[in-house]
Structure 1
Amino acid sequence: MPLTTLIHRSSQPCPDVSPQQAATLLQDHYGLSGSLQALGSQQDLNFRLDAPSGRYVLKVCHGDYAIAELQAQHAALGYLHDQGVPVPAVLAARTGEQLLAVNVNGQGLRVRLLDYIEGQSLTRIKHMEPRLVAELGRLCARVDLALADFTHPGLERTLQWDPRHAQALIAHLLPVLAKSPQQARVSAAAEQARECLQPLLDKLPMQAVHLDITDDNAVWARDEQRQWQLQGVIDFGDLMYTWRVADLSVTCAALLHHAEGDPLRILPAIEAYHALNPLTEAELKALWPLVVARAAVLVLSSEQQLSVDPGNSYSRDNLAHEWEIFDVATSVPFELMEAAVLQVAGHEMPALVLEGCVPLLPPTLAHQVVTVDLGVLSEHYQAGNWEQPGIDQQLLAEQATASGAACSLYGQYRLSQTHIDNPAEPATFALQVELLLPLGTTLQAPWAGTWHQHGEDSGCLEGKECSLWLHGLGAAPEDGQKVTPGQALGASAGLFSAQLCRIAGLYPPAFVEPSRAQAWQALCPSPQAILGIACDAEPLVDAQALLARRDASFARSQKHYYQQPPHIERGWRNYLFDMQGRAYLDMLNNVAVLGHGHPRMVAESARQWSLLNTNSRFHYAAIAEFSERLLALAPSGMDRVFLVNSGTEANDLAIRLAWAYSGGRDLLSVLEAYHGWSVATDAISTSIADNPQALSTRPDWVHPVIAPNTYRGAYRGAESTADYLRDVDARLDALAAEQRQLAGFICEPVYGNAGGISLPPGYLQQAYAKVRAAGGVCIADEVQVGYGRLGTWFWGFEEQGVVPDIITMAKGMGNGQPLGAVITRREIAEALEAEGYFFSSAGGSPVSCRIGMAVLDVMEEEGLWDNAREVGGYFKSRLQQLVDKHPLAGAVHGSGFYLGLDLVRDRQTLEPASAETTVLCNRLRDLGIFMQPTGDYLNILKIKPPMCTTRASVDFFVDSIDRVLSEDL
Structure 2
Amino acid sequence: MASRSTIMDNNSFRAEHAAALDPQTRRLTERRDEVLGGSYRLFYRRPVHLVRGQGQYLWDADGQKYLDMYNNVASIGHAHPAVAEAVNAQMLRLNTHTRYLHERILDYTDELLATLPEYVDPTDFKAMYMCTGSEANDLALRVAKAHTGGTGLIATTEAYHGNSELSSSVSPALGSGQPIGDHVWLLLAPDGYRTGVDDIGPWFASEIRAAIADMESNGVKFAGFIADSIFSSDGVLPGNYLREAIDAVHAAGGVFIADEVQPGFGRTGEHFWGFAAHGVIPDMITTGKPMGNGIPVSGLFARSEVLASFSDTVPYFNTFGGNPVSMAAAQAVLDVIRNEGLQEHAKVLGAAALERFTQLGETHKAVGDVRGAGLFIGFELVKDRSTKEPDRELALNLLEELRHRGVLTSVAGPHGNVLKLRPPLPFTHIDIDWACEALDSSLRALN
TM-score by length of 1: 0.43
CA distance in 1, matches of 2:351, 2:219: 48
CA distance in 2, matches of 1:766, 1:721: 7
3-state SS, counterpart of residue 172 of structure 2: coil
Deviations 1:673-713 (A, max 9, x none): 111111111111222xx31345xx3232111223211111x
Alignment-mate amino acid for residue 699 of structure 1:
G
Report the counterpart of residue 614 of structure 1 in structure 2.
96
1:734 paired residue among 189, 201, 214: 214
Report the counterpart of residue 409 of structure 2 in structure 1.
931
Alignment-mate amino acid for residue 258 of structure 2:
A
Query: Is 1:765 the equivalent of 2:251?
Result: no
3-state SS, counterpart of residue 856 of structure 1: helix
CA distance in 2, matches of 1:801, 1:847: 34
3-state SS, counterpart of residue 66 of structure 2: strand
2:314 paired residue among 836, 843, 849: 836
Deviations 1:157-201 (A, max 9, x none): xxxxxxxxxxxxxxxxxxxxxxxxxxxxxxxxxxxxxxxxxxxxx
CA distance in 2, matches of 1:957, 1:932: 13
Alignment-mate amino acid for residue 171 of structure 2:
S
3-state SS, counterpart of residue 854 of structure 1: helix
Alignment-mate amino acid for residue 121 of structure 2:
S
CA distance in 2, matches of 1:648, 1:716: 33
Deviations 1:832-877 (A, max 9, x none): 1244211112111111101101101111111111110111110000
CA distance in 1, matches of 2:217, 2:415: 35
- Verify the 8 A CA contact 2:398 2:446 in the aligned structure 1: no
Query: Is 1:636 the equivalent of 2:83?
Result: no
Report the counterpart of residue 336 of structure 2 in structure 1.
858
Report the counterpart of residue 661 of structure 1 in structure 2.
147
Closer/same/farther in 2, CA of residues 934 and 739 from structure 1, 3 Å limit: closer
Report the counterpart of residue 270 of structure 2 in structure 1.
792
CA distance in 2, matches of 1:854, 1:721: 37
Deviations 1:732-777 (A, max 9, x none): 2223334532111112211211342125x54x21121221122111
Report the counterpart of residue 877 of structure 1 in structure 2.
355
Where does 1:473-622 land on structure 2 (aligned, <5 Å)? 542-622=24-104
CA distance in 1, matches of 2:422, 2:51: 21
Where does 1:127-166 land on structure 2 (aligned, <5 Å)? none
Report the counterpart of residue 232 of structure 2 in structure 1.
752
CA distance in 1, matches of 2:412, 2:211: 28
- Verify the 8 A CA contact 1:765 1:800 in the aligned structure 2: yes
Identity %: 35
CA distance in 2, matches of 1:946, 1:797: 20
Where does 1:225-244 land on structure 2 (aligned, <5 Å)? none
CA distance in 2, matches of 1:777, 1:693: 28
Measure how far apart 1:796 and its partner are: 1.3
CA distance in 2, matches of 1:933, 1:776: 32
1:650 paired residue among 136, 142, 148: 136
Alignment-mate amino acid for residue 382 of structure 2:
V
CA distance in 2, matches of 1:821, 1:961: 36
- Verify the 8 A CA contact 1:651 1:681 in the aligned structure 2: yes
Alignment-mate amino acid for residue 662 of structure 1:
T
Measure how far apart 1:815 and its partner are: 0.5
Report the counterpart of residue 345 of structure 2 in structure 1.
867
Measure how far apart 1:919 and its partner are: 1.2
Report the counterpart of residue 180 of structure 2 in structure 1.
698
Higher relative contact order (CA 8 A, sep 6+): 2
CA distance in 1, matches of 2:141, 2:381: 34
3-state SS, counterpart of residue 640 of structure 1: strand
- Verify the 8 A CA contact 2:51 2:60 in the aligned structure 1: yes
3-state SS, counterpart of residue 745 of structure 1: strand
Measure how far apart 1:662 and its partner are: 0.8
Where does 1:436-447 land on structure 2 (aligned, <5 Å)? none
CA distance in 2, matches of 1:562, 1:931: 10
Alignment-mate amino acid for residue 379 of structure 2:
L
Alignment-mate amino acid for residue 45 of structure 2:
Q
CA distance in 2, matches of 1:615, 1:724: 42
Deviations 1:388-426 (A, max 9, x none): xxxxxxxxxxxxxxxxxxxxxxxxxxxxxxxxxxxxxxx
3-state SS, counterpart of residue 900 of structure 1: strand
3-state SS, counterpart of residue 560 of structure 1: coil
CA distance in 2, matches of 1:861, 1:718: 39
CA distance in 2, matches of 1:854, 1:720: 38
Report the counterpart of residue 887 of structure 1 in structure 2.
365
Measure how far apart 1:814 and its partner are: 0.4
Report the counterpart of residue 921 of structure 1 in structure 2.
399
Alignment-mate amino acid for residue 607 of structure 1:
A
CA distance in 1, matches of 2:214, 2:82: 52
Report the counterpart of residue 204 of structure 2 in structure 1.
724
- Verify the 8 A CA contact 2:190 2:237 in the aligned structure 1: no
Measure how far apart 1:965 and its partner are: 1.1
- Verify the 8 A CA contact 1:805 1:824 in the aligned structure 2: yes
Report the counterpart of residue 804 of structure 1 in structure 2.
282
CA distance in 1, matches of 2:200, 2:280: 19
- Verify the 8 A CA contact 2:45 2:400 in the aligned structure 1: no
User: Any gaps of 5 or more consecutive residues in structure 1?
Assistant: 1-224, 226-270, 273-514, 516-540
CA distance in 1, matches of 2:33, 2:52: 21
Where does 1:388-407 land on structure 2 (aligned, <5 Å)? none
Report the counterpart of residue 680 of structure 1 in structure 2.
166
CA distance in 2, matches of 1:669, 1:953: 35
- Verify the 8 A CA contact 1:646 1:818 in the aligned structure 2: yes
Measure how far apart 1:920 and its partner are: 1.0
Measure how far apart 1:555 and its partner are: 1.2
CA distance in 2, matches of 1:932, 1:740: 37
CA RMSD of the aligned region, Å? 2.0
Alignment-mate amino acid for residue 673 of structure 1:
A
Deviations 1:870-902 (A, max 9, x none): 111100001001221000111112211111100
CA distance in 1, matches of 2:293, 2:287: 13
Measure how far apart 1:801 and its partner are: 1.1
Alignment-mate amino acid for residue 140 of structure 2:
A
Measure how far apart 1:655 and its partner are: 0.2
Report the counterpart of residue 6 of structure 2 in structure 1.
none
3-state SS, counterpart of residue 546 of structure 1: helix
Where does 1:240-251 land on structure 2 (aligned, <5 Å)? none
CA distance in 2, matches of 1:896, 1:815: 18
How many residue pairs match? The answer is 425
3-state SS, counterpart of residue 615 of structure 1: coil
Report the counterpart of residue 337 of structure 1 in structure 2.
none
- Verify the 8 A CA contact 2:238 2:373 in the aligned structure 1: no
Where does 1:242-321 land on structure 2 (aligned, <5 Å)? none
Deviations 1:641-668 (A, max 9, x none): 0111111111111101101111111112
- Verify the 8 A CA contact 2:204 2:245 in the aligned structure 1: no
CA distance in 1, matches of 2:430, 2:44: 25
Query: Is 1:957 the equivalent of 2:435?
Result: yes
2:422 paired residue among 919, 939, 944: 944
Deviations 1:498-530 (A, max 9, x none): xxxxxxxxxxxxxxxxx9xxxxxxxxxxxxxxx
CA distance in 1, matches of 2:201, 2:114: 32
TM-score by length of 2: 0.91
Alignment-mate amino acid for residue 786 of structure 1:
G
Measure how far apart 1:557 and its partner are: 1.0
CA distance in 2, matches of 1:968, 1:899: 22
Report the counterpart of residue 145 of structure 1 in structure 2.
none
Where does 1:161-240 land on structure 2 (aligned, <5 Å)? none
